[in-house]
Amino acid sequence: MLQKIQKNKNYVKGVFDKVFNKYDLMNDLMSLGAHRYWKKELIHMLNPSKSKKLIDVGCGTGDIPKIYLEMTKSCSEILCVDPNQKMLNLAKKKLSAYKNIKYKLSYAEKLKAPDKSFNYYIISFGLRNTGDINKSISEAYRVLKVGGKFLCLEFSKIENDNLDKFYKFYSKLIPKIGKVVVGEDEPYKYLIKSIDKFVNQEQLKNILIKNQFKNCGYRNLSGGIVSIHYGWKL
């Protein structure tokens, strides 16, 4: 089991090593810009207070902290975590104008952070890339303070049949777009496969409950293309 998890980690790291320099551009192309709206809705749902500590796991190039700080005008302390150093370097560059941000190379399944140290935990389009979803959510619970809030933005299962058919058709084009823009199609084949294999909305909600989170639920966006799951540590 541990070998399988490590193999998955190494494979995912290799995927992001290939695409990091065009990551933001491809996000815009693949989602037709919708990922920006989804991330803003994530912060709206967080409804953060000032002077609270946020951990952004799988931070990528730093979109979430940037939106968080722009929307809240907050001086909150933020820890950006990612298992890929190249992605962290891009995040540092994007967020260079902001203070109170720290960066750590780490996996969601084993965070290098003390117990009960954050008010908010966010993971955006990263949970399905972890080697162990249960362990990742258990770690989220561990590092949150009592009263802390968990939020996960992730691809989900589409509700409307016609939209689902269109999405599946469009998904087949994404590796071809990746080949043209990045020079690689394999990372985007992985992306589509990982979305298809990921748990549905109710299953993820139940995993949160299993890991002791309370008042859990989710909100579908764009017809269920993505969903935002939430829960509290009480």
Q: What is the pLDDT of residue 3?
A: 37
The amino acid present at 228, given as its one-letter code, is: I
pLDDT in tens, 204-218: 999 999 999 999 999
Residue 11 pLDDT: 62
Q: What is the mean pLDDT of residues 13-31?
A: 76
Asked if the model's pLDDT at residue 50 lies above 90, the reply is no
Given this model, what pLDDT does residue 108 score?
96
CA gap 34, 46 in Å, rounded: 19
Pick the more confident residue, 61 or 2. Answer: 61
What whole-number percentage of the chain has pLDDT above 90? Answer: 74
Angle value at C-alpha 153, between 147 and 157, nearest 5 degrees: 125
Whether 158 contacts 225, CB under 8 Å: yes
d(CA 230, CA 151): 5
pLDDT reported for residue 184: 87
Share of the chain above pLDDT 70, in %: 91
Residue 51 has what pLDDT?
Answer: 81
What pTM was computed for the model?
A: 0.92
At 45, is the pLDDT very low, low, confident or very high (cuts 50, 70, 90)? very high
pLDDT of residue 160: 93
Q: How many whole angstroms separate alpha carbon 7 and alpha carbon 88? A: 21
Of 57, 137, 152, 62, nearest to 105 (Cα)?
A: 57
Domains of the chain and any CATH numbers: 31-105+116-167+198-232 (3.40.50.150)
Does 4 score more than 80 pLDDT? Answer: no
- Identify the residue with better confidence: 27 or 133: 133
Q: Are 208 and 137 in contact (CB under 8 A)?
A: yes
Per-residue pLDDT, 6: 41
As a whole number, the mean pLDDT across the chain is 90
Residue 182 pLDDT grade (very low, low, confident, very high; cuts 50, 70, 90): confident
In 3-state terms, what secondary structure has residue 67?
helix
Mean pLDDT of the 160-168 span:
94
**Residue 212 amino acid letter:** Q
Helix (H) or strand (E) holding 79: strand 78-82
Lowest mean pLDDT among 4-8, 50-54, 133-137, 228-232: 4-8
SS3 111: coil
Q: What confidence tier does 8 reach under pLDDT thresholds 50, 70, 90?
A: low
